[in-house]
């Protein structure tokens, strides 16, 4: 048996035979075009066929996110600029499939050049090209196989059209060679509850029917497991799902020490099940793909929809986190163009320096929605680097009548100055995704740097420990809302360090709840101490008694 490594993006374990996504159609060598009008008709028929198929899938999708993504693809396919450009290519001598492929290649290059979020959407365009080319050539649509038995789906990357139709009882797990933690594969797999690993080197070389076991938490993929082992992995996963479905109530260690288990959401529709509250409301999702910012009233409604679903419960709203991997078209005018290192540039709270009205409108909208509902609304800023920035943000919140203000700790400078920051704010929330990226100088989207981005890295644990200690001294809460909070074993470390709340995708909460309930606070402290004393992530896991990683 050998092990491949990728990034775990949707927790859970699964095992089964590998099946690759049906390959995309290859273009035949360019024929001479004798009848340009017939080629243009062929383009229109292909567009109509593909749009109808994608619409059918959108209507059948059980999941809102999936349906929206598919509808966005229909819009791309039926956009007149696409057919106009294809017509022009046909006039210049191309056949229909070649014309469509060339036009979509130009769109793709533009998305890639834009970088970040848009660059991750190139799989949507590739999928559209493959479908349109297949339709022109009269070939079957590329897509997910249906062999009549459960399997592990392997692909270079998955387009929304593929992921949206997935049935979790047949597709037991997903492994992709590309994609990042914020790609559609990751987002949709998490929402569907299918264990998934992305950026897994070597997965494309596996032959169909090889049996693998994957861990969507750690990113490990074991190749060549026996059928018996696969059956026992799936049986254990099924038992876990049943016990998780029944698991309820607030987060507590075995001896009753409370650790709030909160949800990371992008809007009201992500609120599933019974949650103690929201620890990270990523408001930037409201602003994505817009050329104008959402108006104040639109924001009030979006915030109120979340607050009114959680009367009496805590909702931590994060103000706009734009820039780098989250480019916002409407801010483009205010931001420097072509930054060489956007992740080190104007992003997060720094955007407010360029566009102060964006922050003040947002704070007004949050305050209005909070006043109209009964949620316990807390507000925090992303990407704070200094105590002065924290103090300025807290003053702005208070001026808008928002009494509970905090900051995210995502920059090592802020972690080191946590005691000073806590003089001006009421709480800290550690964003371990960015804190890892900036501590290890390792782009969080790079699968090949996954080892540096491992939350068990002792340097990261030391920074978290410093923040937790600062919180204890100040008597103020310190939570974690990065992906590391969703790792049940790492949650024990965080609890042992004194972290008071853990915020994660709602589906991840039951496993963390179970892990906490099985350990006393003293055991968590011992696990944390052992992890902190280690020199490598593997040693940290092993020292904490969580296996060699
Ligand atoms: C983080 O950086 O850990 C975090 C929670 O913020 P985001 O993932 O939205 O950047
Ligand atoms: Mg962040």
Kindly report, residue by residue over 219-249, the tens digit of the pLDDT. 899 999 999 999 999 999 988 777 777 778 9
Alpha-carbon gap, residue 141 to 404, rounded angstroms: 53
Sequence-separated (6 or more) residues with CB below 8 Å from residue 459 = 439, 440
Closest of 213, 215, 216, 243 to residue 231, by C-alpha: 213
Question: In the CATH scheme, what is the code of domain 252-441+478-487+500-519?
Answer: 3.20.20.60
Strands (E), 62-195: 151-155, 171-176
What is the CATH number assigned to the segment(s) 2-22+143-243? 3.50.30.10
Q: Which pLDDT tens digit goes with each residue over 73-109?
A: 899 899 999 999 999 999 999 999 999 999 999 988 8
Q: What is the model's pLDDT at position 197?
A: 93
According to the model, what pLDDT value does residue 63 have?
A: 67
Ligand nearest to the CA of 280: 1
Q: Which of 184, 200, 400, 519 is catalytic?
A: 184
pLDDT of residue 292: 77
In angstroms, the CA 33 to CA 13 distance is 52
Q: Where are the domains of the chain?
A: 2-22+143-243, 36-137, 252-441+478-487+500-519
Instruction: Give the largest Cα separation in the chain, rounded.
Output: 80
Question: Cα 279 from chain centroid?
Answer: 16
Residue of higher predicted confidence among 475 and 245: 475
Question: In whole angstroms, what separates CA 312 from the centre of its chain?
Answer: 28
Over residues 519-543, the mean pLDDT reads 94
| 321 C-beta closer than 6 A to ligand 1 | yes
CATH label, 36-137, candidates 1.10.274.10, 3.30.70.270, 2.40.50.140, 1.20.120.1200: 1.10.274.10
Query: Which ligand 1 atom is nearest residue 481's CA?
Result: 5
User: What is the Cα–Cα distance from 153 to 144, expressed in whole angstroms?
Assistant: 8
Indicate which residue's Cα is closest to atom 9 of ligand 1: 282
**Of the spans 27-41, 145-159, 269-283, which averages the highest pLDDT?**
27-41
Same fold, 2-22+143-243 and 252-441+478-487+500-519: no
Has 524 been annotated as catalytic? no
pLDDT of residue 547: 47
Q: Where are the alpha helices (DSSP H) in 412-546?
A: 412-416, 418-421, 432-439, 458-474, 488-497, 509-517, 521-533, 537-543
Higher pLDDT, 294 or 480: 480
Task: Provide the pLDDT confidence category of residue 168 given band limits of 50, 70 and 90.
Answer: confident
What sign does the dihedral 444-302-508-493 (CA atoms) show?
positive
Residue 362 confidence (pLDDT) above 80: yes
Q: Which run of H or E residues covers position 277?
A: strand 277-282
Q: How confident is the prediction for the chain on average, in pLDDT?
A: 89
Mean pLDDT over 40-47 rounds to 96
Q: Is 467 an annotated catalytic residue?
A: no
> 20-29, 42-51, 399-408: lowest mean pLDDT where?
20-29
pLDDT at 333 over 60: no
Pairing verdict, β 220-223 and 211-215: antiparallel
pLDDT of 486 strictly over 50: yes
DSSP string covering 443-468, please?
Answer: -TT-GGGTTTT-TT-HHHHHHHHHHH
Grouping H, G, I as helix, E, B as strand and the rest as coil, residue 526 is helix
Q: What is the pLDDT of residue 239?
A: 85
523 pLDDT band (50/70/90 cuts)?
A: very high
Reported confidence tier of residue 527, pLDDT bands at 50, 70, 90? very high
Site to substitute for ligand 1 among 264, 284, 321, most atoms within 8 A of C-beta:
321
Edge-first strand listing for the sheet containing 171-176:
2-5, 220-223, 211-215, 13-20, 151-155, 171-176, 196-198, 7-10
Q: In angstroms, rounded to a whole number, what is the distance separating the alpha carbons of residues 279 and 259?
A: 12
Q: Cβ atoms within 10 A of the Cβ of 317, count? A: 24
Distance from chain centroid for Cα 209 = 29
Cβ(434) – ligand 1 distance below 6 Å: yes
- Percent of the chain at pLDDT exceeding 70: 92
Rg, C-alpha atoms of the chain: 24
Does ligand 1 come within 6 angstroms of the Cβ of 180? no
- Ligand 1 atom with the smallest distance to the CA of 431 is 3
User: What is the DSSP-derived secondary structure letter of residue 182?
Assistant: T
């Amino acid at each position: 048996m050998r092990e491949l490594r990728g990034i775990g993006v949707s927790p859970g374990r699964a095992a089964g035979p590998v099946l690759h996504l049906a390959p995309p159609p290859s273009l035949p060598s360019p024929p001479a075009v004798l009848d340009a009008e017939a080629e243009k008709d062929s383009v229109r028929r292909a567009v109509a066929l593909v749009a109808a198929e994608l619409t059918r899938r959108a209507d059948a999708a059980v999941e809102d996110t999936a349906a929206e993504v598919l509808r966005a693809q229909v819009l791309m396919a039926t956009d007149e600029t696409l057919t106009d450009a294809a017509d022009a290519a046909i006039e210049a001598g191309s056949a229909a499939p070649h014309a469509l492929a060339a036009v979509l290649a130009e769109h793709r290059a533009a998305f890639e050049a834009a970088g970040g979020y848009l660059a991750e959407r190139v799989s949507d365009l590739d999928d559209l090209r493959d479908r349109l080319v297949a339709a022109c050539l009269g070939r079957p649509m590329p897509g997910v196989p249906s062999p009549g038995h459960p399997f592990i789906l392997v692909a270079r990357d998955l387009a929304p059209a593929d992921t949206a139709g997935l049935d979790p009882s047949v597709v037991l797990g997903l492994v992709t060679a590309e994609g990042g933690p914020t790609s559609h594969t990751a987002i949709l797999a998490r929402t569907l509850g299918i264990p998934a690993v992305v950026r897994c080197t070597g997965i494309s070389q596996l032959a169909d029917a090889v049996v693998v076991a994957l861990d969507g938490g750690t990113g490990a993929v074991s190749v060549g497991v026996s059928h018996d082992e696969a059956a026992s992995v799936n049986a254990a996963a099924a038992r876990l799902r049943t016990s998780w479905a029944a698991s309820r109530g607030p987060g507590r260690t075995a001896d009753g020490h409370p650790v709030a288990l909160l949800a990371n959401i992008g809007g009201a529709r992500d609120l599933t099940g019974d949650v103690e509250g929201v620890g990270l409301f990523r408001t930037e999702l409201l602003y994505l793909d817009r050329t104008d910012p959402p108006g104040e009233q639109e924001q009030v409604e979006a915030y109120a929809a979340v607050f009114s679903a959680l009367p009496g419960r805590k909702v931590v709203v994060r103000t706009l986190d734009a820039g780098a991997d989250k480019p916002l078209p409407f801010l483009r005018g205010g931001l420097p163009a072509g930054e060489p290192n956007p992740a080190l540039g104007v992003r997060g709270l720094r955007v407010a320096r360029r566009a102060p009205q964006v922050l003040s409108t947002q704070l007004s909208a949050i305050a209005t929605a909070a006043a109209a509902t009964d949620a316990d609304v807390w507000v925090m800023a992303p990407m704070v680097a200094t105590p002065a920035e924290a103090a300025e943000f807290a003053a702005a919140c208070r001026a808008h009548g928002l009494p509970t203000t905090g900051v995210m700790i995502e920059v090592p400078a802020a972690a080191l100055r946590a005691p000073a920051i806590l003089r001006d704010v009421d709480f800290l929330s550690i964003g371990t995704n960015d804190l890892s990226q900036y501590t290890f100088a390792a782009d969080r989207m790079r699968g090949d740097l996954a080892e540096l981005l491992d939350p068990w890295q002792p340097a990261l644990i030391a920074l978290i420990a410093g923040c937790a200690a600062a919180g204890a001294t100040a008597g103020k809460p310190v939570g974690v809302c990065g992906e590391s909070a969703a790792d049940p074993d790492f949650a024990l470390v965080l609890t042992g360090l004194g972290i008071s709340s853990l915020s994660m995708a709602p589906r991840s909460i039951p496993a963390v709840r179970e892990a906490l309930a099985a350990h006393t606070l003293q055991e968590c402290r011992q696990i944390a101490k052992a992890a902190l004393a280690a020199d490598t992530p593997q040693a940290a896991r092993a020292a904490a008694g969580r296996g060699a990683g």
